[in-house]
Structures are given as structure tokens and as C-alpha cells.
A and B are shown apart, each in its own frame.
Chain A
Amino acid sequence: MSLTHARAILPAVGTAHAAPLDDAGALAALSTGCFRFSPWVAPCGADGIWIDATGVSHLFGGEDRMVARIARVLAKSGLTARIAMAATPGAAWALARHGRAPVCVSTSTHDLDPLPVMALRLDAGTARSLWRVGIKTIAALKAIPRATLPLRFGKLLVTRLDQALGHAPESIDCIVPQEARRRAIVFADPISTAEDIRRCTEKLVRGLCEDLEKRQEGARKLDLVFMRTDNSHQAIRVGAGRPSRDLKHILKLFAEHMDTVAPGFGIDKAVLTAWKYAPLFPTQTDSDGGGQHAGDLAQLTDHLANRLGESAVYRLAPAATHIPERAQNRAAPAEDIPASAWPTCLPRPVRMFSPPEPVEVVSLLPDHPPARFVWRGTLRKVRCADGPERVCGEWWLNRDEVAEIRDYFRVEDQDGARYWLFRDNRLTPNQSHLWFLHGVFA
């Protein structure tokens, strides 16, 4: 359904832009929260979570109770969920997404029979092909001699069917893809001192960095979660501008926040997970100090941002616009700035005042440069000038800019200093024009 169609039905329907990255982040956070149910949890697709309940359901008093507990916990956080527990990942997936009951524990493979073939994790094309010949349910599919299937619908169909029914194994790797990017320590005796926490953190980070080293990867976002004995958890999240597996660097990032961890009655488990990771190949480290690589620079900007504030460290990214103050944007230090920057034929000041400073000007209409002007209380006589450079407002942004036209002048005063002034061509209520000083040239 399109938005306009939806609005035709319900004009007051609210809208929000899709934010897949944020959604994925939230799902990852929710997955983290699910550690309490099982040590092996992973996001599944864009809207699901795998929980491997092998050997843990007894801790919750049986499968039904475990499922009910999960549903309760999620409901408490305001989430509606469909939950299914079954003998195979495939069956659980099918029942959670296509089963009738929102929460169920499957006891028999026949539970799958009435489900549509799409429940077998098929692509839309295969599902449609099956539909065409009237095979719409898993029961109908089971009734077809399986030897006839691969030729017509591909091998994956039979594999998926077998996986769901438990005839074929499904690799556990596949459902816990984060395995190697995670380290955990369980404490027999709960810890609570800052020193213990620091030591355990270092141990976790060291281990994780080794894992990452083996995989030639670097982490961009790390979560350190401390599970407390009271079933709540405390988390520290740090981000790196570029992928990193530098022990010292990561520890330094965590160190800044370590004092926020409140151990309560004790911590019995600590888990370190790298959520965002990317390939990172070893680079030659120059010993002379003159060579450098992006990783070191990222460490520097990470540290500066940690000290001065995240928004205080930035690059000036060129923006293609005629409006001078919009020609530069702040960009994250790790961001790549395009090489093609500002047009060179336009002389621009090295310092620009934001907002522009009002000045009093004597000039001839309609478009002559100022003859003299007063700025910050000082009268300046103009000896020569260039202009106007006529800049039109960006009418698409708002109504006010439709009529906005500025005439920019470069002027040189009697001392040889050069200024950038503009006249706002819109008339003020008392039929005059406002002038501003926008920048100073070198």
C-alpha cells in the first residue's frame, strides 16, 4: 500500500521515515538483552531474533514456561512478538512467522502441515512457482514425490523442507553469526571492585582482539555488558571512527566510561561483543614517525573527540551551493571528503562571520559598491571594490528565500584590508536595504 493510498483511507495516518540502520541497531540491542535467556542469541533477518534454547529451557522450568517468560519480558518493554519454539530452526522460523498462534511450542512436525510454502524460507519466485501448480501448503508439498521437485524448483526447496522437518541438519554457525566477535567470562564468585572490572575488561578485550586478528577484522562498535546477579545488566558502548583491533586504543576508549559501571550486588557474567566490524588488514607500521596510516589518525580523532566533545572535532565538507554560509558542512573526521571542492573562480574570505554582522553603509543605488561603511564602531573608507556578485536565495527551502537576493561586494579600505559585504536586496519596511559584513579576506 502506498502512503497516499493509506492517507486516502485514513487521512490522519502518522508517518515516519524508514531507518533500517537504526532498526538494525535496535534489534542488535534487543538481542543483547536476550542473553539472559540463552548464551547464544543472534538477530535473524531484519525483524527477528534466534535464541538457541538447547540445554537451557530447564533453567526456566520447561519449554512452555521459557517461551511464556520471553513473551512476558518483551511485553514489559512494550514489544509485541510472535514466538515459536520447535525442534529445528526451520520449523521455529516457520511457526513464528506463519503459524496461527502468536506464541507456541511445537511438539510435532505435523504442526507445519497447514502452513503456506513460504514458511520454508523460500524466495518469492520459488513460492510463486509452487503456487502456480497448486502447491500452496507444506502438506501439499509433502504429498508430491520429492524426486520431482529439484528439477522444477531448485535444490534449496528440498533442503529447506528437510531442515524444517529435521531430516537435514542446519549449521549452528549460520544462526549465531556473531560467535567469533564475542567473548564472555562467567564468574563463579560475583565480582564488584573496580579493579576486578578493569582486569576482566582487559582480559575480554585482549581475547576479542586476538579473535579479530585471526579473522583480519576490526571493530567499529563494541558493547561491553555486565550481567548482574539481580538479573539486570549494565552496558558500555564505544565506537571507533575506523575499524580497530588495537588493544590499547580500545581499552582507552572503555576506560573513559568505566566509572559508570555500578556492580550492585555483584557481576556474575561479562560479555564483550563487536557489533559492527569490517575487514582490517595489517598495515606496515612505519617506525620513523613520519609515515602514518588512517588507523592512527582515527585514534587521534577518537581521543580528541573524547576530550573536546564529539561535535567539536570535524572536517569542513564542501557543499555545492551558491549560498556562502551553506558551502561548508561539518563532517565526521573519519568521513572522506570529496576531492572536488569549491569553485576556484569565486574569491572567498578565510574567515566568515556567522551570522553576518550588520554594518552601516553609504552607497549608490541600484547596484554600486559601498563608498564607506561602519563596522564594529569604526568607519572605513572604501578605496576600491568589486561586485556585485549576485546570489539568489534557495527558494526551495522556504518561502522567505524566494525573494532573497544578495549583492556581494569585495571592498578594500584605506588600510588595505579587504572585506566581504553584501546588501540584502529585499526592502525593509522603511524602504531601505540592510547591509552586512560577512567575512574578511586575507
Chain B
Amino acid sequence: MQNGRTSAALRHLTLGHLKETLRGLERAEGFRAKTGQAALPFGIAALDSLWPEGGLPRGALHEIAGASADAGGFAAATAFTASIAGRLGAGRPNAPVLWCARGHELYGPGLAGVGLAAQRLIVAEARNDKDLLAAMEEGLRAGVLAAVVGEVERIDLTASRRLQLAAEKTGCTALVLRRPGKRATPAPITAASRWRVGPAPGSGAQDFYQIPAARPWRLELIRARCGAHGSWIVEAPDAQGHLRLPALLADRSLGAPVWQNVA
């Protein structure tokens, strides 16, 4: 079952590294025994069934980016990241989330609205990506956090590998939130999964004076170690951080399938 997850990383590793990685995996195994699960289910069968573990693997690095390089895409990516980070620690008391930020635009009330409560959030502002990655790594290694989020613009393979290793070692989940940058396509990194998320166009407003309560997103899994990929229309997370599939009736107006797995 670790096949998909480790194959990419294994290729470049020496034996020593291999041993260490195995130890890390064992620890992750032990961690799973302790918490009862090594993965974070989305609660949506179509997504959860993509992974053998039944959800997004913990103790790994995941990358999330906006579907478009504009503010709307980044906001959606932020909310998606926050909802995952929020749910990652939700079962465990006092499990905080370290959010390594590059600016001061984070807005607590909005984050709380997608499931990341203020009591669980610690923000660390870094001046550059280098400091930010170092802070992320320190956070991952501390072993006291549920998740570490990093708003990164540039990150290379080496850096991502370091984060991945640190995450595996402590079972803490690393979430790289890509800041929209000048370069069109960011460099590839080592990640257990890579996501694109953005508002789904075409939500049907019949009344100019009403914004529909439902918030449709297009969620795209570009690549995952398990080999899965796909794209779905989902509703933005609720205050507990749970995604939902749009209700059949309400969604008819969208003129699109309820959800589609293009895999």
C-alpha cells in the first residue's frame, strides 16, 4: 500500500536514507496505531476511495494552489488548506496549526468559518521563502503540531523533500499553499498530493439581490502518489471544515453533473 506513496522518493535515496525512511514509516505506522487512522477522510466517498488509507494521508506533504493565479483562486486555496489543517487536529485537544505566512492578510473570522478556529492557529510571519521553509521544518520537527502550513512562492525539490522527511518523522502534516507568483508554472516538488482549487464558474444566480448560500468549487487533484487524479464540483467547506457534494436539486441549475471524475 505504500507503493504509490514512496516510489518517487525512493529512487534517489541511499541505503542509509532508506533505513531512515523506513524507520520514519514505522513511526508513522505507530502513529496510526495510536490515533486510529493515518489518513484524513474528506467524508466524500468519491474522494476518500482514491486512497487505500481512505483519505488524505497524514504525516506527509501536500501541495495546494489556486486554480487561477488571481485573488479568488488564492482565497479558495487558502480556505481549502485551512479546512484540512483545521480538521487535522480537530480530534486531538490542543493540537495547534502553525501557519507560516508571507503577509498579514489572513483573516481569523474567515478561517474560523471554514473550520480553523483561532484557538488552534499560530501564525509565523516570515520575510522570505527561505526563512519560511526553515520555520516550517522546525514546526514539523517539533512534534507538537497537527499541521504546518506554508505560504510558499518558490520551493524546490530538495526543500520539499526535507519537509516531507520531517513530516514523516513526526507524523505532522505539511501543507504547502502556493502563493500566486510571477512564474507561470511552479517547479515540481515532492508531494503526496497536489491540488488545484477555485470558484466554479456558472453558479446560477437568479436574483441579483441574493447570493446563493451554496458555494461551488472546482476541486482538482492533479497528482497523488497513489496515482489518482480527477476533478470535482464540491461545495466550499462549512464551519467544521467539511466539504459537501452539491445537493442534487439545488444543483440542477448548474447545468453540470453532480460530480464528475474525469480520471
Residue numbers of A with Cβ under 8 A of B are 288-290, 292-294, 296-297, 299-301, 303-304, 307-308, 312-318, 324, 327-328, 333, 336-339, 341-342, 344, 346-354, 369, 382-386, 410-419, 439-442
Contacts and interface: CB of A to CB of B under 8 A. Distances in A.
A346 B201 CA distance: 24
B105 A351 contact: yes
A272 B216 CA distance: 60
A289 B143 contact: yes
A308 B133 CA distance: 12
Contacts of B31: 288-290
Nearest to B83: A442
A86 to B, nearest CB: 53
B118 A289 contact: no
Interface string B157-177: 000000000000111000000
A442 B215 contact: yes
A351 B110 contact: yes
Interface residues of B, number: 72
Nearest to A318: B118
A312 B117 contact: no
A290 B142 contact: no
Nearest to B99: A316
Contact of A416 (B95, B106, B145, B203): B203
B113 A384 contact: no
B-side interface mostly: mixed
Contacts of B70: 417
B239 interface: yes
Contact of A385 (B92, B94, B209): B209
Contact of B210 (A349, A384, A415): A384
15 contacts: A289-B169, A292-B94, A307-B134, A315-B123, A318-B118, A349-B75, A350-B107, A351-B75, A352-B110, A353-B105, A369-B209, A382-B208, A416-B201, A441-B215, A442-B236
Nearest to A287: B30
A369 B208 CA distance: 9
A11 B215 CA distance: 62
A289 B167 CA distance: 11
A324 B121 CA distance: 19
A289 B71 CA distance: 37
